[in-house]
Every structure is written in structure tokens, then in C-alpha cells.
Amino acid sequence: MRPVDTLISARWVVPVVPRGAVLADHSVAVEGGRIAAVLPTALARTQFAPVRHVELPQHVLAPGLINAHAHAAMNLLRGAGDDLPLARWLNERIWPLERALVSERFVYDGTRLAAAEMLRAGITCCNDMYFFPEQAARAFAELGMRCVVGIIALEFPSAYAADADDYLRKGLAARDALRGEPLVGFSLAPHAPYTVADATLARVAMLAEELDVPVHTHVHETAAEVEESVRLHGVRPLERLDRLGLVSERLLAVHAVHLLPEEIARLAQRGASVAHCPASNLKLASGFAPTAALLGQGVKVAFGTDGAASNNRLDLFEEMRLAALLAKGAANDASALPAWQALECATMHAAGALGLSDQIGSIEVGKNADLIAVDLSGPETQPCPDVVSQLVYCAGREHVSGVWVAGDRVVADRRIMRNERQVDYEPIAASALYWQARVHAAGRASPLRVT
């Protein structure tokens, strides 16, 4: 009998790799935070002597979901500017509030709240972009959540940094400071072609090679930014990024709503990835991303929640389902983006986009034990003729009963855990209330224009 830390025995295991597999009555053995074996439960009982044996008789065990695009700290701005056109949303609500409020504490508190929401929703890894990435990383790590935080770069000053060089310097210092954190990774995150100058983008391209990290940036979210680029630079933003050496397998292009057929082909040829954010694109009326066409050309499409100010949920079950539904509507084809593919996007495609496809994204021996248990026994998920369809089309975050990151159980029966002990939610709730009052006061100081 081989000793292991944890044995998880589930009614079904959906490993995502190999594609389409649904393993009935299988177990996953976890040792040292990694997956040691995937095998029939009957066999596992004879081979493993686990310290902890978790039995999930009505559940599916799947890889943790990966949020490919978030501004986690913006959870504190949730509901602060709904139902507004994009320009008013940015100019009259989000930017003034950020100018008034963003600080180390804001980012730490907001990210901790967001991590609590995401973990309970079965998200085990978040690709984040915001000011003060060191504080974001510390909040994620504290709650035991895996993250890739962006070394953000912008040309304009903020409470965090003065100019593009300052952003990059501080981001690189954060990376150095957090080198020992096994759950924390970094990307280079130039905010967007319309907020970052050529010289900075060229430097980002060089740094990305040097540090061997992905490049996380907003691309073609709105028709207006594409037009503006043509006016200012003579080319569309993707062409500009390409000339600066940024369209490669390192690129994670967020949104990618407004794409010409040749741009889709270029993303495919270069091996770039897309972070599709369907709820945010609808809420801000940005347009309909050509998801089915991107997938058809072989582009890795991952899903992102975007920030809570434009969603307002950090819920990848919601995004998986919405992406699958919206792809059908937008492509006028009910067979577009089927359930198995939506699950693949939210796991393996995202892992690949982040350069982590050998670490996370599937239940395979040697990978990190980033796992979620989803209870399919309730009236919302019965009958259950097809486990993967049920996961994508019926289940919600509320059915996530257990979550593990690197083998540590971080959610048990909807409660947030760390090292086998329940995490106190009170300080998180209290900080949300504190910031709600601060947001309210700041909103009064710079009210919406009367139109």
C-alpha cells in the first residue's frame, strides 16, 4: 500500500485530457501537492493508504477553472456604475473612483474579497491585471489561490506609479520579492495598445522573452479603439502589436471582439491566445466576439470574467455557459462551442495561454492537484445523462462543494479553508463594508453628469 496525502474518490472524474473522457467511479491520488495517480476507485482502495480519503459519491471531479482575465481588486467597485454607456462608465465612474481610492490596501482588500468569491466558484487560478500587483499576489497567496499577476504598464501616472518605466520597475521588483511563492506567477501586462506607447511595447516584447512570461493585454475590445488606432498610427492595433514583436505564442489577447478574418488567421498562425469575456462584452455593449471562428482556426480561447465593475460576477461557470450560448447565437449555429469545448477553454486553453499547460488545466499525473468537486445530486442537475453537459449548462458555482489548490483543500462545503482550518470571513466582509462607504463618499464627490 502506497502512502499518499489525499485520495479523492468521485462518482465521475472528468480529466479534460484526454478530450471527452468521463471516468466513472474513479479516484485521484494526491502526493506533495501533485497528482500521483488517476485510477478506478476499486483499484485505488487496494493500492493507496491515504492520510485523508474524500468520498464524493454524487459528484464530478474536474480540473480547477482558470480565470484568464480579471481585475480582481475591482470587486470593491462592484455595482458602482451599472447600465451606463462605456465612455460614461469609464470617464464618470471607474476612473474617478480609481483616482480617489486605489492604494495598496484597496488592492489587497479587493483581491482578497475576489479570491474568496472565485475559490467558492471553483476558480483555482486567476490571471490578473491591476495596480499594486504585489498586494494582489499576496492576497491570492494568503487564501491559497494560484495566480498570474501582471507587471502592469501604462503611460499615465496613478497612485501606483509615475510613468511606464516606473510601472515596469515596480512590477519587476514585485516579481523578485515574490520569487519564493509557489502559487504566484507573473506576466507582462501592458494595459492596451491605446494606453501604451511603442517604446514601452517594444520593451515589453523584449522583457517577455528574457523572463519567459506571457504578455497579457487588452486587444480590440471596442470598434472605437480600432478606428482611433488607424487614425493615430495608420494601422489597426493588432498590426501595431505585431510590428513591435508582440503577436506570438506569448500573447494573451483579451476581448478580441473586433477582428477581421485575416486577423483571426494571424492569431492562429502565431499561436497567440484569446481571453474571451462574454459577460463583460455584453454588459459594456462592446460587440460579439467571433469565438466560433477563432476556435475553428485553432486559436486557444480561454474565458475571463473581467473586473466585477463590468460583469458583476467572478464566476467561470457563468462565463462557460454564456460563452457556449453566445457562440451559438453569434455564429447562428446551435452546434457551435459545444459543452466539452467550453470546459476545455476554461481549463486547458487557459493553462496553455498562461504557459502553464504542463502544470495545470487537466487531471493528469504529475500536474498540480488543482481540483474541483461539483455536486450533481440536486434538482437543478437531475437527471444527468451527460456529465459534461451538466457541468456547463446546468451546474452553477453553488454546486461546487470542494476545491483543492496544489492539494490543499481551500473550499469544503462552501466554506473557505486553509491548511485544514476554516478561514475567518468576518475581516473580508468588514473590509467590503469599509470600502463600500469610501466608494459612496468618493462617488458623491464626483457625481454622474446629468444628461
212, 231, 383, 419: residue in contact with a copy of itself (rule CB under 8 A): 383
284, 343, 348, 372: residue in contact with a copy of itself (rule CB under 8 A): 284
440, 441, 445, 448: residue in contact with a copy of itself (rule CB under 8 A): 440
The stretch among 35-43, 70-78, 156-164, 363-371 that binds a copy of itself (CB under 8 A) is 70-78
282, 359, 364, 418: residue in contact with a copy of itself (rule CB under 8 A): 282
Which residue's CB is nearer to a copy of itself, number 161 or number 327?
327
The stretch among 21-29, 148-156, 168-176, 329-337 that binds a copy of itself (CB under 8 A) is 329-337
3-class SS letters over the chain: CEEEEEEEEEEEECCCCCCCCCEEEEEEEEECCEEEEEEEHHHHHHHEEEEEEEEEEEEEEEECEEEEEECHHHHHHCCCCCCCCHHHHHHHHHHHHHHHHCCHHHHHHHHHHHHHHHHHCCEEEEEECCCCHHHHHHHHHHCCCEEEEEEEECCCCCCCCCCHHHHHHHHHHHHHHCCCCCCEEEEEEECCCCCCCHHHHHHHHHHHHHHCCCEEEEECCCHHHHHHHHHHHCCCHHHHHHHCCCCCCCEEEEECCCCCHHHHHHHHHHCCEEEECHHHHHHCCCCCCCHHHHHHCCCEEEECCCCHHHCCCCCHHHHHHHHHHHHHHHHCCCCCCCHHHHHHHHHHHHHHHCCCCCCCCCCCCCCECCEEEEECCCHHHCCCCCHHHHHHHHCCHHHEEEEEECCEEEEECCEEEECCEECCCHHHHHHHHHHHHHHHHHHHHCCCCCC
Rounded Cα distance, 366 and 43, in Å: 19
What number of other Cβ atoms are within 10 A of residue 52's Cβ? 13
41-60: contacts with a copy of itself (CB under 8 A): none
Q: How far is CA 332 from CA 279, 327, 336, in A?
A: 19, 8, 8
181-240: contacts with a copy of itself (CB under 8 A): none
Q: What mask, x for binding a copy of itself by CB under 8 A, covers residues 103 to 122? A: ----------x--xx--xx-
The stretch among 31-39, 194-202, 268-276, 431-439 that binds a copy of itself (CB under 8 A) is 431-439
Which residue's CB is nearer to a copy of itself, number 19 or number 440?
440
Shortest CB 334 distance to a copy of itself, Å: 4
Under rule CB under 8 A, residue 331 binds a copy of itself = yes
For 16, phi then psi, to 5°, come to 70, -40
Under rule CB under 8 A, residue 449 binds a copy of itself = no
The stretch among 124-132, 206-214, 281-289, 297-305 that binds a copy of itself (CB under 8 A) is 281-289
Shortest CB 395 distance to a copy of itself, Å: 9
264, 403, 428, 442: residue in contact with a copy of itself (rule CB under 8 A): 428
Shortest CB 120 distance to a copy of itself, Å: 7
Which residue's CB is nearer to a copy of itself, number 201 or number 314?
314
22, 37, 84, 207: residue in contact with a copy of itself (rule CB under 8 A): 84
Under rule CB under 8 A, residue 86 binds a copy of itself = yes
Rounded Cα distance, 442 and 451, in Å: 20
Which residue's CB is nearer to a copy of itself, number 75 or number 127?
75
Shortest CB 417 distance to a copy of itself, Å: 14
Under rule CB under 8 A, residue 285 binds a copy of itself = yes
8 A C-beta contact, residue 7 and residue 44: yes
Q: What mask, x for binding a copy of itself by CB under 8 A, covers residues 393 to 422? A: xx-xxx------------------------
Shortest CB 424 distance to a copy of itself, Å: 13
Under rule CB under 8 A, residue 82 binds a copy of itself = yes
Which residue's CB is nearer to a copy of itself, number 89 or number 404?
89
8 A C-beta contact, residue 188 and residue 151: yes
Of 244, 218, 230, give the one whose Cα is nearest residue 154: 218
211, 325, 357, 418: residue in contact with a copy of itself (rule CB under 8 A): 325
Which residue's CB is nearer to a copy of itself, number 75 or number 187?
75
13, 62, 246, 439: residue in contact with a copy of itself (rule CB under 8 A): 439
Q: Name the grid cell of 30.
A: 494526491
Q: How far is CA 6 from CA 17, 18, 53, 262, in A?
A: 21, 23, 6, 49
Interacting residues toward a copy of itself by CB under 8 A: 75-76, 78-80, 82-86, 89, 113, 116-117, 120-121, 279, 281-285, 287-288, 311-313, 315, 322, 325-326, 328-329, 331-336, 338-339, 377-380, 382-386, 389-390, 393-394, 396-398, 425, 428-429, 432-433, 435-436, 439-440, 443
